[in-house]
Amino acid sequence: MGKHISIEHGTFRLEAVHQKNNRPDAVVITHPHPLYGGNMENPVVKTIEQAFYENGVATLRFNFRGTGKSTGQFDDGVGEQADVKAAVEFLEKEGYGRIRLAGYSFGSRINAAVVSGGCRVTDHIMVSPPVAFMPFDDIPSLRNTGLVITGSDDEIAPKALIETHLDRWGIDPVFETIPDCDHFYSGCLDRLGIILDKYLAGELTG
């Protein structure tokens, strides 16, 4: 489902899948750590994609540089920020007026840096931000963050540590914790999808 495309930026070419929909809304979805097997085919990424698409939002998921058929090599989270910006710019050129960012694990860390750096998006969703695995102290603020999701058994994205960062950022997004759920959402993809559906339908508020 969706059209396989290439996004050109600088000397890089990103492998991506774009699904058009019936509204001027779109979301860029980013994947977990490529050095640990993460890519745009990850089940959590595709669950996020499905939820947005079924709620009328066009989707764009892509492979970070050096992953899959994307050119280049892993850049320790630095060049990957440029990849996210290129994906956002692609959607802007396609005419989408409302663009969101949704990331899972490593992808949410990269998105956080991009949003904190001033990238203008209408909504920012974090699924299991890896606060116990990667530093977030260099993220001074996270405006437009509407939803954060983690699992009660997620040792990489523990609820208490996420709450500490939310307090530091001075934001109050919808924060959902899925019971008996680990970082990989094993057996929990349906519950993840339900939360996303309710959020996109306006049924969850912070």
Sequential pLDDT tens for the chain (206 residues) = 789 999 999 999 999 999 999 889 999 999 999 999 999 999 999 999 999 999 999 999 999 999 999 999 999 999 999 999 999 999 999 999 999 999 999 999 999 999 999 998 999 999 999 999 999 999 999 989 999 999 999 999 999 999 999 999 999 999 999 999 999 999 999 999 999 999 999 998 76
* Greatest CA separation for the chain: 44
Which of these, 144, 145, 149, lies nearest to 177 by C-alpha position?
149
Question: For the CA atoms of the chain, what is the radius of gyration?
Answer: 15
Which CATH topology does 3-200 take? Rossmann fold (3.40.50)
**3-state percent breakdown (helix, strand, coil) of the chain, nearest 5:** 30, 25, 45
Task: Count Cβ atoms below 10 Å from residue 120 Cβ, excluding itself.
Answer: 10
Structure letter (DSSP) for residue 35: G
Euclidean distance between the first and final Cα of the chain, in Å? 32
Please spell the DSSP secondary structure of 95-137, one letter per residue: T-SEEEEEEETHHHHHHHHHHHTT---SEEEEES--TTTS--T
How far apart are the C-alpha atoms of 101 and 180, rounded to whole Å?
A: 26
